[in-house]
Amino acid sequence: MNRTALEETAQAMVSEGKGILAADESNATMTKRLEAVGIESTPESRRRFRGLMLTAEGAADHISGVIMYDETLRQASDDGTPFPELLASAGILPGIKVDTGAKPLAGFPRETVTEGLDGLSARLGRYHELGARFAKWRAVIGIGYDRPTRGCIGANAHALARYAALCQEAGIVPIVEPEVLMDGEHTIDRSEEVTAAVLRTVFGQLAEQRVLLEGIVLKPNMLLSGYDCPEQARVEEVAERTLACYLRVVPAAVPGIAFLSGGQSDERAAAHLNAMNRIAGMPWELTFSYGRALVAAPLKAWAANTAEVADAQAAFLHRARCNAAARIGEYAESMEHELVA
């Protein structure tokens, strides 16, 4: 294992003033998103939409890496440049989603385990040849009155650790994503209890599988009140409680925490990240690895006229700029009115 290369890549992924674009929706998910705005989902429409973000002039000022789906990693821009090559030449790290999705966990009703370990070593080798320098694997943990179970947390943590070890052996930095869903009526206290338990188990498994913590990026949820909870935590409370919890359970050797947006509004996702970055003295970089909070706005703009990319690119760059500002604690709501098309 080349420790230095892994550490350098991980640090570049969380470098100052930048964050990660998660454009790795599976074809099924991307089809839902495209059809919701009236666009037929084909390999070509998916290529054109992802392509407009990847070729947006100036994206590299705010984006350190892009997570792609297998299909996109093998596609090319209009001028025929393969997307991984295009990104690398702009100074953006190409990444790849390698899990094959969350599947029902046998014996545990309503719980899932993320699959994709079979043949992963060979796939990682091919992805590295295609230019991928980091990968993503998302475990999904739901909260309910009888969930999550220890069985579900344990199975998902074990798979995450096995994936991370295989990535590092292939010279690829693993994004370790244990997502605790914020759907439900639970309080922020319950969100904290579950998230802490999940992260303790994940880091225990990472240690057992001999994963180099300096060569990973953690991609967790923020601690929020469940979306249907009548009492919603304020922005500052979310920031303070998230960091207080993570100080207890995330080792300082981890170079960076790149949060997922998880269905928050675009503005909330930026405001929460901003509030966290205004709290000094954290051992890790705090940045974003957003999907919906970066992609929803350009998709809406593109849907209005798919023959044109300028408005969609402006909408994408605007979200990237807002979140990059939040990543250094310089986001203000007033920025939301500064979209320059």
Concerning whether 136 is annotated as a catalytic residue, the answer is no
209: left (phi over 0), alpha (psi -120 to 50) or beta: alpha
Give the shortest CB-262-to-ligand 13P separation in angstroms.
4
Considering beta carbons, is residue 28 or 106 the nearer one to ligand 13P?
Answer: 28
Give the shortest CB-240-to-ligand 13P separation in angstroms.
22
Cβ atoms of 196 and 166 within 8 Å: the answer is no
Task: Quickly count: other Cβ atoms within 10 Å of residue 206's Cβ.
Answer: 23
Give the shortest CB-97-to-ligand 13P separation in angstroms.
8
Stretch that binds ligand 13P, among 8-16, 53-61, 188-196, 255-263 (CB under 6 A): 255-263
Which CA distances in Å does 25 have to 32, 94, 318?
Answer: 10, 15, 21
**Phi, psi dihedrals of residue 184, rounded to the nearest 5°:** 130, 180
Considering beta carbons, is residue 123 or 292 the nearer one to ligand 13P?
Answer: 292
- For ligand 13P (CB under 6 A), the number of binding residues is 10
Considering beta carbons, is residue 210 or 290 the nearer one to ligand 13P?
Answer: 290
Q: Are strands 285-290 and 19-23 parallel, antiparallel or unpaired?
A: parallel
Which CA distances in Å does 102 have to 110, 112, 188, 269?
Answer: 11, 6, 24, 24
Owner of token pair 């080798």: 125
Considering beta carbons, is residue 5 or 300 the nearer one to ligand 13P?
Answer: 300
Concerning whether 177 is annotated as a catalytic residue, the answer is yes
Alpha helices in the chain (DSSP H): 3-13, 27-36, 43-54, 70-73, 83-90, 120-129, 150-169, 188-208, 235-249, 266-277, 292-304, 310-326
Stretch that binds ligand 13P, among 30-38, 230-238, 254-262, 306-314 (CB under 6 A): 254-262
- State the catalytic residue, choosing from 18, 97, 136, 177: 177
Owner of token pair 């909330």: 268
Looking at residues 279 to 338 of the shown chain, list those that interact with ligand 13P (rule: CB under 6 A): 290-293
Considering beta carbons, is residue 101 or 171 the nearer one to ligand 13P?
Answer: 101
Among 72, 112, 156, 261, binds ligand 13P (CB under 6 A): 261
Give the shortest CB-296-to-ligand 13P separation in angstroms.
8
Closest residue to ligand 13P: CB criterion? 291
Cα separation, 246 vs 253, whole angstroms: 13
Which CA distances in Å does 270 have to 121, 211, 273?
Answer: 36, 31, 5
Q: Contact between 174 and ligand 13P (CB under 6 A)?
A: no
Site string for ligand 13P, 130-169 (x = CB under 6 A): --------x-------------------------------
- Here the tokens at position 133 are 């320098």
Q: Which residues bind ligand 13P (CB under 6 A)?
A: 22, 138, 177, 260-262, 290-293
Catalytic residues: 177, 219
